[in-house]
Structure 1
Amino acid sequence: MGYQYILFYKPYNVLSQFSEGSTPPTSDSASRLTLKDFVPIADVYPVGRLDRDSEGLMLLTDHGQVQHRLSNPRFAHPRTYWVQVEHRPAPPALAQLRQGVTIKGYRTRPCQVALMATDPPLPLREPPIRYRQSIPTAWLEMTLQEGKNRQVRRMTAAVGHPTLRLVRVAIAHLGLGNLEPGQWRFVTPRERQDLLQL
């Protein structure tokens, strides 16, 4: 049997691992969900991570070489996010994000950032984000070539626009497509071929 490659739409409040492992306990530990609550395939592992409070596309595989290559910062590949932020960023803030910002002594690489004209077609989040009538929100599409811990959230905060909701919609050529939160599917033969060429 060949290697397995799975695309999974991680919902909000789900750990991007198959067991709680060494994750510090919290008051809601009893209800903590992990990947094993959604994906009944043995011996596959996530390529990269999404924070518990982030949503969207994850790639799971048992192919160690692919996992290593896509997780290693030396081998850059695009990751695209839809990001809901507080207030509507002005052109200087968008330019700053594109050029890179300094976070904890690290300068992020240049990235693609676009202000979305309309809200993206996403399912409602459970629980919904906190809505405050006095603070408008906007959506950005951000494509990064790197994936440091909580990087998108730290980048938007650095330019004065805290992230309210974060959804990864693509990893390289792989996209969410018609998946709904909690759903998964195997990659197509063409997706697999392109994946192995990364």
Structure 2
Amino acid sequence: MTEDTVRLAKRVAEHFHCSRADATHYIEGGWVKVDGNIIEEPGFRVRPQAQLELQPDAVAEPAQAATFLLHKPSGMDAADAVQLVTPDNRSADDRSGFRFLKRHLADLSNPAPLETEASGLLVLTQDWRVKRKLTEDASRIEHEIIVDVAGAMIPEGLAQLNRSLIFQGKALPPMKVSWQNEARLRFAVMAPPSGLIAHACALVGLTPRAVRRIRLGRLPMAGLQPGQWRYVQDYERF
């Protein structure tokens, strides 16, 4: 660092005649370019000769907390899955209009986990309201899970799966289970604990080969391909 550099927030405030708070919002919102490159860090050091550009549609507002829907591939835990949230992996079907910011990747939580070997819809969020909804109201949020199975189901096995099961010493709410085809089951279940799907399949003589969550509450995975993500829009609710 040399003595003639200054914090970007100070330089923006002076150059564009705005408050330091507004300058910080412009920068953190990804609206400021320094020598042609977007810089999102208010503390970034710039030289006096650096060329600053404020994008025409810039707004001096705090950046919104982000929530992502990600199609997690099988075999990947949530920590690794976060690494897939890059501009290159953004779904072409993302119609949110949100601008991707580096700060959207900070302090992401995973309030509705998926087992490592499962694939499908994973929620990553910075929004405390989403986190609270998916944790405090978990018992009222339905998970739709598709399971490819091997083996032959025991007689009356489907009826057994649709009754309340005992798992880890607790009686669980009844699930809704149906065949999608001769080798694929659909489960609709509230707050499934880890290991439940494998346990349920084993009870009726089946072995799960692939487990994929395709819906969480009212939000489906829809057209997201493995490794792709999109933003959750303001009006969407779980």
- Identify the match of residue 71 of structure 2 among 3, 9, 13: 9
The answer for the alignment partner of 1:44 in structure 2 is 108
- In the TM superposition, 1:1-198 aligns within 5 A as 1-16=63-78, 18=79, 34-40=80-86, 41-72=105-136, 75-89=139-153, 92-117=156-181, 138-191=183-236, 194-195=237-238
- The 2-side partners of 1:2 and 1:96 are apart by 46
The answer to whether the Cα contact below 8 Å between 2:154 and 2:204 also exists between their aligned partners in 1 is no
Query: What is the percent sequence identity of the aligned residues?
Result: 24
Contact 2:152–2:205, Cα closer than 8 Å, also in 1: no
Relative to the length of structure 2, the TM-score reads 0.61
Query: What is the aligned-residue RMSD (CA, Å)?
Result: 1.9
CA apart distance, 1:160: 1.7
Which of the two has higher C-alpha Rg?
Answer: 2
How many residue pairs get aligned? The number is 158
Residue number in structure 2 paired with 1:127: none
Equivalent residues of 1:47, 1:58 under 8 A apart:
no
Give 1:145 shift. 1.0
Residue equivalent to 1:129: none
Q: Cα deviation per residue 1:80-131 (whole Å; 9 max; x = unaligned)?
A: 00001123536611111111222232222101111003xxxxxxxxxxxxxx
Gaps of 5+ in 1: 19-33, 118-136
Q: Which has the higher contact order (CA 8 A, sep 6+)?
A: 1
Q: Which whole-Å CA distance do the structure 1 matches of 2:109 and 2:125 have between them?
A: 5
Partner of 1:134: none
Structure 1 pair 189–63 and aligned structure 2 pair: CA distance change class (3 A) = closer
TM-score scaled by structure 1?
Answer: 0.72
Quote the Cα distance in structure 2 between the aligned partners of 1:165 and 1:74.
24
Measure the CA separation in 1 of the matches of 2:168 and 2:232.
Answer: 37
Q: Which structure has the highest helix share of the two?
A: 2
Deviation at 1:58, TM superposition (A): 0.8
For 1:168 and 1:184, the matched residues in 2 are separated by 15
Provide Cα deviations, 1:122-157, integer angstroms capped at 9, x if missing partner: xxxxxxxxxxxxxxx610111001221121111111
